[in-house]
Structure 1
Amino acid sequence: MTVALMWEARAVEGKGAELLAWARAQVLDGDPVRRETFRAPQDRVLVLTWWDAPYDADLPELPEPSPELVTRAVHRWRFESVGTD
């Protein structure tokens, strides 16, 4: 089974590049099948990791960044792959 973990944060205004660099520098305890990082307007950063694991597996996730970098707590979601089209 493939499980995808989503991590999304919104940077303090003007700190989007710093949050992006911080997220890209984070090392996970384990190697995901795939890891992809995105950015969006309003200084948002999104990191998706894919794992070959059961849905409820204990998987490493990116931590919370420093409060000086973000406007709110990180949003996290877990998804189970249902295939590709």
Structure 2
Amino acid sequence: MWEARAADGRGAELHRWVHEAALPELRGAAGLLRTEVFTASGDRVLLITWWAGEPLPVPDPPGELLGRPVHRWSFTSEHVE
């Protein structure tokens, strides 16, 4: 899971960067099963990726788009219904 907060007024640019730069870099990677992009208040963008095997890191956006450093978390699926 990858989450970034945009610099003031730059949420749309950050969202566009995820679609135009981050996702294309991940597409076609071995083991990538699925991606989902979410937006939230505070000009935040969240990217969740599902992998079979070791995930590729999501690149960092240009620094001028960020209001704070990117946050990253790795999870292991334990139960699905």
Question: Which range, TM-score by smaller chain?
Answer: 0.7 to 0.9
The percentage of counterpart residues that share the same residue type is 46
Q: What's the RMSD between the two structures over aligned residues?
A: 1.3
Q: Deviations over 1:1-52 (max 9, x none)?
A: xxxxx00000011110100010112221605111000000000000000001
- AA aligned opposite 2:69: A
SS of the residue aligned with 2:13?
helix
- Higher fraction of strand: 1
Residue 67 of structure 1 and its aligned partner are, at CA, apart by 1.1
Alignment TM-score, normalising by the size of structure 2: 0.86
Give the number of the structure whose residues are more often helix, by fraction.
2
1:12-51 matches, cutoff 5 A: 12-25=7-20, 26=22, 27-28=25-26, 30=29, 32-51=32-51
Unaligned runs of 5+ residues in structure 2 are none
- Structure 2 match to 1:3: none
Matched, 1:64 2:60: yes
Which stretches of structure 1, 4 residues or longer, exceed 3 Å deviation after superposition? none
> What is the DSSP-based 3-state SS (H/G/I as helix, E as strand, rest coil) of the residue aligned with 1:80?
coil
TM-score, length basis structure 1? 0.82
